[in-house]
Structure 1
C-alpha cells in the first residue's frame, strides 16, 4: 500500500526538523502508537496497535532513521511482528520552507503479511 501527502505548518523548517527528531512527537505522528522509545540515535523500539476488520492487532518492532539530510529530509523504516502477521514499511519525509511556512511532504510504503492478510481478504470478498 502506498500513501502520500503533505502538510503546511506555520513554523520555520528548523523548528519542524527538531520536532521530527523528538521521540514524543514521532509517537504522536504514528497512528495507534502506544510506545516509542529511543534505543540509539537512529533506532527506536515501537508498539503500535491497528484495527484490522473486527479486531485490534498489536505489532512490536523497530523504527530506523536513515538518509538524513539535516533540516531537509530523512527516511523512517520500520518492521513489526504480531501473533497474526508482520508489517514493514518506510516513509520518506521532506521539508521545504517559503515565507516562514514549512511544507512537510511524505511518501509511505507499507507491506503486511501472514494470517492478517488472509483475514483482510475475507473481509473484502
Structure 2
C-alpha cells in the first residue's frame, strides 16, 4: 500500500522539526497511544489501542530512523508482529520545506501487511490508514501552530474485542495503522533523536 500527502503548517521549519522530534507531542497527536519511548539511539517502541474495521485491539511495534537531515528530512522504517493477528512492515519519508505561509511537510509511506488484518481488504485498510494520517496531521498542525510545547496524552479507549482467542498479549501494529501511523511514529522517533 502506498500513501502520501502534504500539510502546510503556519510555523517556522525549526519549530516543526522540533515538534516532530518530541515524543510527547507526537504521542498526544496520535489517537489511542499509550506509550511511545526511545529503545535505542535511533529506535522507538510504542503501544496503542486501535480500531481497524470491526476489530479493536492493543498493538505494539517499533520504528527506526535513518537518513536524518535536520531540520529537513528523515526516513522511518517500522515493523509490527501480531502472531495470528498479522504483521506489518512499513517505510516512510518526511520532508520539511520553507513555504511563504510557513513550512510544507511532505510525506510518503509504503507498507506490506499480512495475516488476519490483511484479510479485511485493501479498501478498508487504506481507508483506516488515511483516517489515522489525517487525524494525526490535523492534531499536529494545530499543536505546532498554537506553539504548544507540552503534551497531554491522547484519549485511549480500551480494546472492545480480541483479534483471536488465545493469542499473545503483545501484537504487532496493524497494517491499517502503518500507512498513517508510521509517519507519525517516524516523525516522533527522528525528532526525539535529534533533540
Q: How does 1:47-66 map to 2 (within 5 A)?
A: 47-66=47-66
1:94-116 Cα offsets, whole Å, 9 max, x none, are 00013360000000112221122
CA distance in 2, matches of 1:29, 1:106: 16
In structure 2, do the counterparts of structure 1 residues 64 and 35 end up closer, same or farther at CA, with 3 Å as the change threshold? same
CA distance in 2, matches of 1:29, 1:79: 20
Shift of 1:92: 0.5
Q: Is residue 65–residue 77 contact of structure 1 (8 Å, CA) maintained in 2? A: yes
Instruction: State yes or no: 1:69 paired with 2:65.
Output: no
Number of residues of Structure 1 aligned to a counterpart in Structure 2: 122
Instruction: Provide TM-score, normalisation by structure 2.
Output: 0.56
Higher strand share: 1
Runs of 4+ in 1 over 6 A off after TM superposition: none
Residue in 2 that maps onto 1:117: 118
User: Which segment is superposed worse, 7-16 or 35-44?
Assistant: 35-44
Instruction: Provide TM-score, normalisation by structure 1.
Output: 0.84
CA RMSD of aligned residues (A): 2.1
Higher helix share: 2
CA distance in 1, matches of 2:31, 2:63: 14
Unaligned runs of 5+ in 2: 125-195
Residue in 1 that maps onto 2:18: 18
Q: Is residue 95–residue 102 contact of structure 1 (8 Å, CA) maintained in 2? A: yes
CA distance in 2, matches of 1:71, 1:5: 19
Residue in 1 that maps onto 2:91: 90
**In structure 2, the residue corresponding to 1:16 is in which secondary structure?**
helix
Unaligned runs of 5+ in 1: none
